[in-house]
Amino acid sequence: MENNVNDILQPKQNEGKKIKVGIIGLGTVGSGVFKTLCNFENIEIVAIAVKNINKQRNIKGLNASIITDDPYKIVNNPEIDIVAELIGGVNPAFDLIKTAIKNGKHIVTANKELLAKHGEELFNFAEKHNKVVLYEAAIAGGIPIIMPIKTILAGNNITKIEAILNGTTNYILTKMDAQGASYENVLKEAQELGYAETDPTGDVEGFDAAYKITTLATIAFKKRIKLENVYREGITKIRAQDMQAANDLGYKIKLIASAYIDKGGRADVRVHPMLVSKKSTLAHIDYVTNAVSLSGHPIGDITLSGPGAGEFPTASSVVGDILAISAELGKSDYILPMMRCRHNIDAEPIDISDTDNKYYLSINAKNNKGVIGKIGKICADNNISLASIVQRGVSEDNTADITVITELCREKDMQNALQAFENDEYINKVNNLIRVQI
């Protein structure tokens, strides 16, 4: 006899007690989680903590009697089985989660910053108290990635990740590309539309993506990645001219969060703008869409893409985690063993200066004879071979913009070359240096 999906996900009330959930945070994600959980008969939302209890909320079915402005009433409530932490940041989220675990509650969180900075301590604390912490929503919003890595992809040796993990920066770069507009103008537009915060630093300087790739690489590589070892560079220096040059060369510019682990267990984890080949899947991930590409054996290459943020996409991941826990409660004294932290060894970091990359250089130089040759010589003196060098016209002030694409070379050699360019009398400025996808 076939089982009805609703019978599986929503057991009838007389088949067992309801799973009691407390939600901390009723912002965009929290609202989506509340609305979605209301569809499940076996889940009861006991309490919701908010910052401003007097704020008007037009949410259908929301009972004001379950709202509190004291989140500790949730984590200390003996009735509650699962706490969903949806406020973000380190404080007070860390203490709230630890208190909830100490009081016998399982945790679902979307808090990428907390996991990146204190994940090790949090997971160890949860294991000590035999509780689980699930965090599907903390990495790629609505894209399922953590549970697939932990379950269906568990037999793979994943060695490389390339991902677009921040919708704000991807929106800005896509609009710059489509409109030929400046970073400043597109950022202002994104802020007006609500895609970018009033203070966009966390997104545009790569912090958000760095938090996410730290945890994602830890899970995929089965070794701990320390946030302080993740190289980070934002998109604020990207110009409309760089977008045009990239297109002419067969690339798109994206903010890429990447991670690679070598056979010796050394990890190169970073976030920075990258020229991505138009033949690559990631080149065509536009606007607020996110994507994660994994490479490993035996799967080969796989890319998952979808909405990386927003009310219902993120709620989808949070609710999925809540249902995963609720389905196991009462069935075992040690639930969801595959989803628990199973790695205690730190990956040895590879410093960015010791990595090999290809580079895009935009150089402004005096329009003198021999300048291109001079650029070539500086590169050659620093063990850098050139794949292409193109002069992109002469300005009214008799300066020329020159675009260079290098072959594979060492980062420290490129930094030495940049120093030489700065000291050269014929070179006015290196407008930009962007790494190129290999």
Close Cβ partners of 28 (under 8 Å, ≥ 6 residues apart): 310, 311, 314
The DSSP element (H or E) to which 20 belongs, if any, is strand 19-24
175 catalytic residue (yes or no): no
Contact 298, 292 (CB under 8 A): no
CB 352 within 8 Å of CB 258: no
Q: What is the largest CA-CA distance in the chain?
A: 87
d(CA 305, CA 292) in angstroms, rounded, equals: 6
Strands 300-307 and 289-297: antiparallel
CA–CA distance from 203 to each of 48, 160, 196, 212, 252 (Å)?
28, 23, 8, 12, 19
Distances (CA, A) of 402 to 40, 242, 250, 414, 418: 60, 11, 17, 17, 14
Considering the candidates 117, 212, 254, 358, report the single residue annotated as catalytic. Answer: 212
Alpha-carbon distance 248 to 33, whole Å? 44
User: Helix, strand or coil for residue 409?
Assistant: strand
CA dist list (Å): 208 to 98, 140, 179, 214, 435: 23, 11, 25, 10, 20
Scan for tokens 């008007």, then name that residue: 56
Catalytically active residues are 212
